[in-house]
Chains A and B, each alone.
Chain A
Amino acid sequence: MQQQRRDPTEKGDGRRGQNELEEQVLRAGLCTGCGACVNICPYQAIHHDRTVTLHACDLAQGRCYACCPQTPADLSDLRRKLYGKTDCTPELGPMKGFFIARAADEGLRQGAQHGGTVTTLVTLALREGLIDAAVLAGEGEGLLPRSVTITDAKVAAKMGKSRFVVSPTVAEFNRVCRGDAAKIGVVATPCQAVALAKMRTQPVSEVESGIEKLHLVVGLFCGWALSWQKLAALLKAKTDLAQVTGMDIPPSRYHTLEVYTRGETIRVSLDEVTPCVREACHSCDDMTAEFSDLSVGSARLPEGWETARSWNQVIVRTQRGMDLLELARRRGVLEFREPPAENLQKLKAAALGKKKAAASRSKYLNSTANVEETDGFGS
């Protein structure tokens, strides 16, 4: 079955240039800020969490348009090319296994979000030489994350917090893949994972691309990302931004964004937060980063949130993803527990909810249905 990301009546072969990117994505408010169009040419740039056009490029076709996760693409074709005959669930995408895991190192968990699984996997991949560089969202200034590339496993352990504002991770990949790194891993949101998947399946252009250096994509469950400007304005009224140490979204019945500062925890109603959600996120139908090697998100457990918040749910999609997870088990850096029987169904329901909301393109997300099993970003 052909599955089109955008309007299937869209004319042409989907290969357009900056003009159409501007018209269909940037000016339409549909940019995810993933950074796929940045650092491949001098015309697009990221400022804060926004993609901007610096100068007009008059080429009829460009990689900016081709690799943007928001331009039309045949996702089934993409899935076939990248995942072969892997079992594919309609709600969660390609799936080889479903796990509940967390970092064995409690100290690492403390410094990371939830179970610290992503941090553990990235650290392991670097340490074992599966990758020699990891691109991820690091600490920035004033709630604005910064895309960073790390080659030192010890540094990875310090980068494990969830980010609620998008960072231009693919732009950083575009930069790094032209450098010395040979095997690059990326910690990606669903939109960033789609961009990377499109890059992997695009015909190679006459200009160097470096996509062959992509060796690992660790996907992050994602309900939505917030506009940095709107979030900053919202929180500025409540606290000193410099004091914010982290944020989290507890299960939906709390209907709250928790903001951790050096002094206290500030609870912000999701009614205030939802207007800050990026416009692009309302039409996103991918909650679990389906175009990754494995995807990680927060867990739900029968013991309740206080226990669940130190675990992650993991969907493994590729053999490479499975190998990494099993290596982590063998090395004892991840610990596992049996997923409760109902977890996968709940996750599927939440992912389906996001797909339905995207299909109806509601102005604001239905917060009770859609963020059930997700947080912002991160592990």
Chain B
Amino acid sequence: MALDREQKEEAEVLLMGNEAIARGALEAGVRVAAGYPGTPSSEIIETLSRSSETGKLYVEWSTNEKVAMEVAAAASFAGLRSLCVMKQNGVNVASDFLLHLTGSGTRGGMVLVACDDPGALSSANEGESRHFARLMEIPLIEPADFQEAKEMTRWAFDLSEQIRNIVMVRSVTRMSHASGNVVLGTLPALEGKAEFLCDGPLSDPERGPVVSAPVMAKHRLQQEKLRKAIALFEKSPFNAYSGPEKPELLIITSSACTLYSREAVSRLHAEERAGILKLGTTWPLPPMLLKRHLRKTQKVLIVEEVLPFLEDHVKILAAEQAREIGIKTFYGKNDGALPTVGELNPDLVADAVGRILGIDPPAIPAEYGEKLRRLTEFLPKRDQTFCPGCPHRASYWGIREALQRDHRGGFVCGDIGCYAMATLSQAAGFHTAKTLHAMGSGTGIASGFGKLGPFGMTQPVLAVCGDSTFYHAAIPALINAIHQRADMTFIVLDNGGTAMTGFQSHPGLDVNAMGEAAPMVDIAAICGAMGVPVTIEDPFDLIGTRETLNRLLEEPGVKILILKQSCALSPEKKGKKRFLMRVDDTLCRGEACGCNRLCTRIFRCPGLLWNRERKRAEIDEVICAGCGFCAGICPAGAIRSEEAAKP
């Protein structure tokens, strides 16, 4: 979907949720957008970067989410509308700044879009950014369909300017990554000069310095802003009820769960018995609106994902209004009607609604069930693994060999990126990585492990981090390790981009988010400046990598190894094979002693196949990336590589 400025107004187009959010920001006249890539949020900045125009809209991939929020805040302080975008744990990273920003307030409309990942489909956590809205005392709004994703984002800028504070728009994976029809609105002319007015007194929100002090006064002011938001929320069209006048069951929900709730009610044919109050403004809740709807019934089911955020706040309001609305029976998380982990879906909601109303959910027809069973038998069991030609597979192969040779029980502290899979899967990383937490944490944890020698720890400690992760959060931990003389080996898996999320740019590249030339900030030079010698190896050179690593593992202190090889999906490599690979049948030892299928049983690049009939390995020419690495691991020299002809 191209969302360029020529797109016709009033046109109805199919947009991904994230594209709708980006369009909403464009329709609001956003001038600065910054973010850090992270699924499911990345397409918002990507969409905006394609719409960027010199002097009209500035878009950047920042080094991390905190910096992104600071960059966007500066634009707001200078009177421009700005947007910052991140996934749920990015809000954790930005939260220190956010706490102060909410105290100082904003000027130009400023919106934080946080995309949560219930069920952790592509995350190492299912943390929720919703709770930050309450913690930071800022308004939270959540779209429930694609049109709303656009409209609410656009409106969030107005709201921000009305209350002079940042507004949080929260999406979830199923909102951000699903697509739906959206009627486009008008794109404004982008005008307005950036100027930071700062010559006024501290108390002047228009011309004073932007600070969170005096804290009490600013905090009080912030809470007044929130009350103003409540008043606006009471009348918001994003909160809507559908259902009977006096439903037996009131479902209160928001976001993608609105769709699940509608489907569940429809599937149970309970439209006459259950009503749905869909909330778009989820913090702070508008009390009068809630009172009106809670009065309708005795039974209330709150449908939301993961923890009871909405449920808790509805219950507080219900308790406060009990004399007027009566005592309610609540269903949701605390009574176990819905799970407190993972995503919801129409089945789970239908089960909950069915149990409350005494309706058996319609059974799956036997014939359908049988078809399903037969079809799923054919589904191959797929490994969670790296792509064919992925340099991480080669890196971990070298690391694994070096650690096994070293023989002291060494292990890798993992970090965030594709290479995090080494904690989960034999096929991705051969079980070398043993810890996995936040971005940069592998390095910090290794720094800590590296000080446990005096307590008897003899295991060598390694930390891996990707190039983008290096800039994001590994640098302070690395500085710590060096200064504290921790014994650890720090490995940068430099694949030349923020690969996992779709190859976004980062400070190590010579191009920025808008495709402009940008100075490269060199990782080796940074490490060298910290006073630690840096070794650079190509992970496709297995022997060089392994020997270097074995040497480094025996040295004390912090050792730094950069394993540099571009991602197989990088623009310069994608679709281009360096080598044409083939297996020489006469040499392949197959399952015999002497090999036992090393390439397809242990190495397991998806480009290698095991032919059960012929009992020989084969190359899947369709997906083989032609990296050539497997030729070096074959003990019989049966995997042959031939330099591919230059196109």
Hey, which bits of chain A sit against chain B, CB under 8 A? Answer: 17, 40-43, 45, 47, 50, 52-59, 61-64, 205-207
- Smallest Cβ-Cβ distance to B430: which chain A residue: A55
A45 to B400, CA, bound (A): 13
Name which of B86-94, B526-534, B556-564, B587-595 contacts chain A. Answer: B587-595
Contacts of A57 in B (CB 8 A): 596
Contacts of B400 in A (CB 8 A): 54-55
A17 to B593, CA, bound (A): 9
Do residues A50 and B407 form an inter-chain contact, with CB atoms below 8 A? yes
In the complex with contacts A41-B635, A42-B598, A42-B633, A52-B593 CB distance below 8 A: no
Knowing that A40-B594, A45-B404 touch, tell me 13 more A-B residue pairs with CB under 8 angstroms. Answer: A41-B593, A41-B594, A41-B596, A42-B595, A43-B598, A47-B407, A52-B404, A52-B405, A55-B400, A55-B430, A63-B594, A205-B594, A207-B595
Q: CB of B137 within 8 A of chain A?
A: no
Q: CB of B401 within 8 A of chain A?
A: yes
Do residues A54 and B404 form an inter-chain contact, with CB atoms below 8 A? yes
- A sample of 12 cross-chain residue pairs with beta-carbon separation below 8 angstroms, ordered by A number, consists of A40-B594, A41-B593, A42-B635, A43-B596, A45-B405, A52-B405, A53-B404, A54-B401, A55-B430, A58-B596, A59-B593, A62-B593
- Smallest Cβ-Cβ distance to A63: which chain B residue: B593
Do residues A41 and B595 form an inter-chain contact, with CB atoms below 8 A? yes
Contacts of A206 in B (CB 8 A): 592
A8 to B65, CA, bound (A): 67
A58 to B594, CA, bound (A): 12
Do residues A205 and B404 form an inter-chain contact, with CB atoms below 8 A? no
**B399-417 CB contacts (< 8 Å) to partner A:** 400-401, 404-407
A207 to B601, CA, bound (A): 19
A282 to B589, CA, bound (A): 37
Q: CB of B425 within 8 A of chain A?
A: no
Do residues A205 and B407 form an inter-chain contact, with CB atoms below 8 A? no
Q: Which 5 A-B pairs have the closest CB atoms?
A: A47-B405, A207-B594, A42-B635, A62-B593, A55-B602
A147 to B589, CA, bound (A): 26
A185 smallest CB distance to B (angstroms): 24
A43 to B594, CA, bound (A): 9
B636 smallest CB distance to A (angstroms): 8
- Smallest Cβ-Cβ distance to A41: which chain B residue: B594
A315 smallest CB distance to B (angstroms): 34
Q: CB of B550 within 8 A of chain A?
A: yes
Consensus secondary structure, chain B interface:
loop
A159 to B601, CA, bound (A): 41
Contacts of B591 in A (CB 8 A): 59
- Smallest Cβ-Cβ distance to B406: which chain A residue: A47
**B568-612 CB contacts (< 8 Å) to partner A:** 589, 591-596, 598, 601-602
B399 smallest CB distance to A (angstroms): 12
A281 to B400, CA, bound (A): 29
A54 to B589, CA, bound (A): 18
Do residues A47 and B594 form an inter-chain contact, with CB atoms below 8 A? no
A18 smallest CB distance to B (angstroms): 9
Binary contact track B384-401/A, C-beta < 8 Å → 1, others 0: 000000000000000011
In the complex with contacts A55-B430, A55-B598, A45-B401 CB distance below 8 A: yes
A43 to B404, CA, bound (A): 11
Do residues B592 and A47 form an inter-chain contact, with CB atoms below 8 A? no
Do residues A61 and B401 form an inter-chain contact, with CB atoms below 8 A? no
Do residues B404 and A207 form an inter-chain contact, with CB atoms below 8 A? no
A59 to B430, CA, bound (A): 19
Do residues A207 and B430 form an inter-chain contact, with CB atoms below 8 A? no
A63 to B595, CA, bound (A): 11
Contacts of B407 in A (CB 8 A): 47, 50, 52
B394 smallest CB distance to A (angstroms): 15
Contacts of A64 in B (CB 8 A): 593
- Smallest Cβ-Cβ distance to A60: which chain B residue: B593
- Smallest Cβ-Cβ distance to A54: which chain B residue: B404
B327 smallest CB distance to A (angstroms): 62
Contacts of B633 in A (CB 8 A): 42
Contacts of B406 in A (CB 8 A): 47
A54 to B400, CA, bound (A): 8
Contacts of A42 in B (CB 8 A): 595, 598, 633, 635
A154 to B42, CA, bound (A): 67
Do residues B596 and A59 form an inter-chain contact, with CB atoms below 8 A? yes
- Smallest Cβ-Cβ distance to A208: which chain B residue: B594
Contacts of B430 in A (CB 8 A): 55
A61 to B635, CA, bound (A): 18
